Structure 1
Amino acid sequence: MSATAQEILLVDDEAPIRRFLRTVLEDQGYKVSEAATGKQGLAMATGANLVLILLDLGLPDLDGLTVLSLLRGVTDTPVIVLSAREGQDDKIAALDGGAVDYLTKPFGVGELAARIRVALRLAAAKSGPAKQEVVSGELRVNLIDRQVYLGGKEIHLTPIEFNLLAYLAKNAGKVVTHRQLLQEVWGHNATDKEHYLRIYVHQLRQKVEPIPSQPRFVRTESGVGYRFVQGE
C-alpha cells in the first residue's frame, strides 16, 4: 500500500469489528489505523493523511458523543458514526454535534462504502473554491444568483424557500437535522418550530420535484431531518 494512501481511523472497542472493517477498507485501497478507546482516538485524530474517522458511540472510557465534541475542537476531519444505538435522539445529537453521517449497526459493506465516498466528496468540495452551482439531474441551484432551474425552466421560489433549498444543496449528500435547518433559515429562536419546516418543505417540493409525492431531490430522513440527493 502506498505510504500516501488515504487513511481512515477506526475508533471502536470491539476488536472483531475493527478487524472486519480493516479488511473491508484495505481492500478498497485505504490505509487503516485503529483505536480501542476515545482517548486513543483523540490522540490519533490529527494524522497527516487522515481523511475520515469512523466512530463508535459505545466506548469504554468516554461516551462517543463526548469524543465527537472533542474531535470537532481539534480537527475538521469528517466523522461518520457507526453505532448500535438506533434512537432518533442519538442520531440527532451526533449529526448536530458535527458528524457527517450516522450508520446503525449492523450495516452493509456496500452502504458503508457509499457513505464514505459521499463524506470524502463533501470534504473535498468544502476545501475547494466555494460552489456557485449545485446540480442534481435536471435540477440546478445557482447559489450566487439565487436562481433555480428544473429541466431548463426557471422556478420562482420565495426567499425562505430558496434559503432552505440552498442550505440543503450546499450540504448535498449530508443529513441536515431539523435543528440545523431551523437555525440556518429562521434563526436560533426558531429551533422548536418544526412545523415551519414541514410547511416549507412541502411547498418547496411542489415547485422543484417532478413528482412531489415521490421526492428525488429533497429526501426525508424520518424523525431526523432532510438530505439533498445529488447526482441522480
Structure 2
Amino acid sequence: MTPGAGAFVLVAEDDAKQAELVRRYLQREDHAVLVVSDGRAAIDQIRSRRPDLLILDVMMPELDGLDVLRVVRRDYDIPILMVTARSAADDKLAGFDLGADDYLTKPYDPRELMARVRSLLRRAQASGGSVVLPLRVGPLSLDQVRHEVRLDGRRVECTPAEFRLLETLMSSPGRVFSRRQLLDQAHGADSFVTDRTADAHVKNLRRKIEANPRKPVLLQTVYGVGYRITDGHQASDA
C-alpha cells in the first residue's frame, strides 16, 4: 500500500447483504475488496494474497472468526478488525487476546466502520516505515511485503516457516546459519522443534528452487555448521 493509494481489503462475512454493504463503502474510498463467506476461504486468501486489512466476522461457517484470528496471527501481522453480533465482553476480550486490532459490534453504522478502517490503515502505514525492497540472490527474489518468493520470475509456493527460513538466509547471502538460528526465525525461540525440522525445511525448499535438489547450488550445506544461500557460483559442501 502506497500513500494515496487504496488498500486491498479482505472481508470475511457470511451475511451476503452485510458483505455487499461493506464492499460498497470500501469501494467508495478506492479500496480493492474481496469478500469470502467462510473462515477457511479467508485463511486461503490471506496465504495467497496477503491483504492490507482483514475485516473478520466472528460467527462464520467452517471456521469461526476467532479460529481464523488464531491461525492468521501465528504468521501475519496484518491489521484485523473483528465484527460480531455478540456484544458480550468476554467475546471482545477473547478477540483482543488473540490479536485483533479493533472490534465492532453489530448492528453498526457503516460510517463508523469506515472511520475505523481508515484509522487502522493509517497506523499500519505509519509503522511500515520506508519502502522494503525485495531480497535478491542470484535467480531468487523474496518480496517481504507481498510475501512472495520467485525463481527466475516464476512464483515459488512456500509455507510460512519455509518463507521465514529463506528470508533469514537471503538477508545475509553467503553467511552460514546454524540449524538453531534458522529454527528460531522460522518457528520462534520458544518452539519445541529439533534440528531435523530445519533439515526438513531445507529439503523441501531445495525441491522447489534447485534444478537438481541432490546437488544444490543455491541452498548449500556447510557440514558441521549449517546452511547458507548463494548465487550459485560459490562452492558447496553438498
Normalising by structure 1, what TM-score?
A: 0.51
Q: Secondary structure at the match of 1:13?
A: coil
Match in the other structure for 1:40: 41
Match in the other structure for 1:25: 26
Q: Offset of 1:122 from its aligned partner?
A: 1.6
Match in the other structure for 1:104: 105
Does the Cα contact within 8 Å between 1:22 and 1:32 map onto a contact in 2?
yes
Q: Secondary structure at the match of 2:11?
A: strand
Does the Cα contact within 8 Å between 1:46 and 1:74 map onto a contact in 2?
no
Match in the other structure for 2:115: 114
Match in the other structure for 2:64: 63
Q: Tell me, in whole angstroms, the C-alpha distance in 2 between the residues paired with 1:68 and 1:49.
A: 14
Q: Tell me, in whole angstroms, the C-alpha distance in 2 between the residues paired with 1:66 and 1:26.
A: 28
Structure 1 residues 37 and 125: CA distance shift in structure 2, 3 A: same
Does the Cα contact within 8 Å between 1:68 and 1:98 map onto a contact in 2?
yes
Does the Cα contact within 8 Å between 2:6 and 2:29 map onto a contact in 1?
no
Q: Deviations over 1:149-206 (max 9, x none)?
A: xxxxxxxxxxxxxxxxxxxxxxxxxxxxxxxxxxxxxxxxxxxxxxxxxxxxxxxxxx
> Which letter does structure 2 place at the counterpart of 1:80?
L
Query: Over aligned residue pairs, what C-alpha RMSD do you find?
Result: 1.6
The 5-angstrom pairing of residues 51-90 of structure 1 reads 51-90=52-91
Give runs of ≥4 in structure 1 deviating > 2 Å. Answer: 46-49
Does the Cα contact within 8 Å between 2:10 and 2:51 map onto a contact in 1?
yes
Q: Tell me, in whole angstroms, the C-alpha distance in 2 between the residues paired with 1:50 and 1:64.
A: 16
Q: Is 1:10 matched up with 2:11?
A: yes
> Which letter does structure 1 place at the counterpart of 2:11?
L
The number of aligned residues is: 126
Q: Tell me, in whole angstroms, the C-alpha distance in 2 between the residues paired with 1:127 and 1:28.
A: 21
Match in the other structure for 2:158: none
Q: Tell me which of the two structures has the higher relative contact order, counting C-alpha pairs closer than 8 angstroms and 6 or more residues apart.
A: 1
Q: Offset of 1:126 from its aligned partner?
A: 2.2
Q: Secondary structure at the match of 2:46?
A: coil
Q: Which structure would you say has the larger Rg?
A: 2
Q: Offset of 1:47 from its aligned partner?
A: 5.3
